[in-house]
């Protein structure tokens, strides 16, 4: 696998995402059913010359440094459009496809399909919605979540600095 392969023309509208981004802390996790927490996270977007962008997100509790969420996946663009699909697998047993659009330095998606392990605990995740927006060497991610108990509500907000 070579991350130095030439960029596939189809992913050029996502070139602004490419690289490694990190927030040591300052991320805010909240939800009506949990205690608010601060977290850090590293996210990497890269390509190997195929018509998709691969990504990984790794977060940790800001105070204890204990690992939290892990997520890996791919982003594809519908040919001749700004429509995208973000496909991901999460370490808590959920796999989802989120669809939306990329425009300038912003990507917005929401759940098109979601599956979970048969033995996942309740409440069930029903919908996710997220935005990545880049401003210079900073990028913000905001995620909303709906569960079987709670309507769509802001869950995560973090601002990364570009490190590579």
pLDDT per residue as tens, the chain (164 positions): 557 799 999 999 999 999 999 999 999 999 999 999 999 999 999 999 999 999 999 999 999 999 999 999 999 999 999 999 999 999 999 999 999 999 999 999 999 999 999 998 899 999 999 999 999 999 999 999 999 999 999 999 999 999 99
Write out the E strands in 15-152.
Answer: 19-31, 34-46, 52-61, 67-77, 83-90, 94-103, 106-116, 125-135, 138-147
What is the b/e burial string over 104-143, where b = at least 16 CB atoms within 10 angstroms of the residue's CB?
Answer: eebbbbbbeeeeeeeeeeeeebebbbbbbbbeeeebebbe
Q: What's the predicted TM-score (pTM) here?
A: 0.94
Q: Please give the domain boundaries of the chain with CATH numbers for all domains.
A: 9-162 (2.40.128.20)
């Amino acid at each position: 696998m070579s991350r130095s392969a030439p960029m596939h023309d189809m992913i050029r509208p996502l070139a602004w995402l490419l690289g490694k981004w990190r927030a040591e802390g300052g991320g805010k996790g909240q939800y009506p059913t949990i205690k608010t927490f601060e977290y850090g996270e590293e996210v990497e977007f890269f390509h190997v010359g195929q018509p998709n962008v691969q990504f990984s997100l790794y977060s940790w509790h800001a105070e204890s440094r204990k690992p939290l969420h892990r997520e890996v996946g791919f982003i594809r663009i519908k040919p001749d459009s700004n429509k995208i699909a973000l496909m991901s697998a999460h370490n808590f047993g959920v796999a989802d496809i989120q669809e939306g659009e990329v425009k300038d330095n912003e990507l917005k998606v929401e759940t098109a399909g979601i599956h979970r392990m048969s033995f996942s605990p309740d409440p069930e995740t029903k919908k996710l919605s997220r935005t990545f927006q880049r401003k210079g060497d900073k990028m913000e991610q905001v995620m909303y979540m709906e569960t079987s108990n709670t309507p769509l509500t802001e869950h995560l907000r973090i601002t990364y600095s570009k490190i590579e």
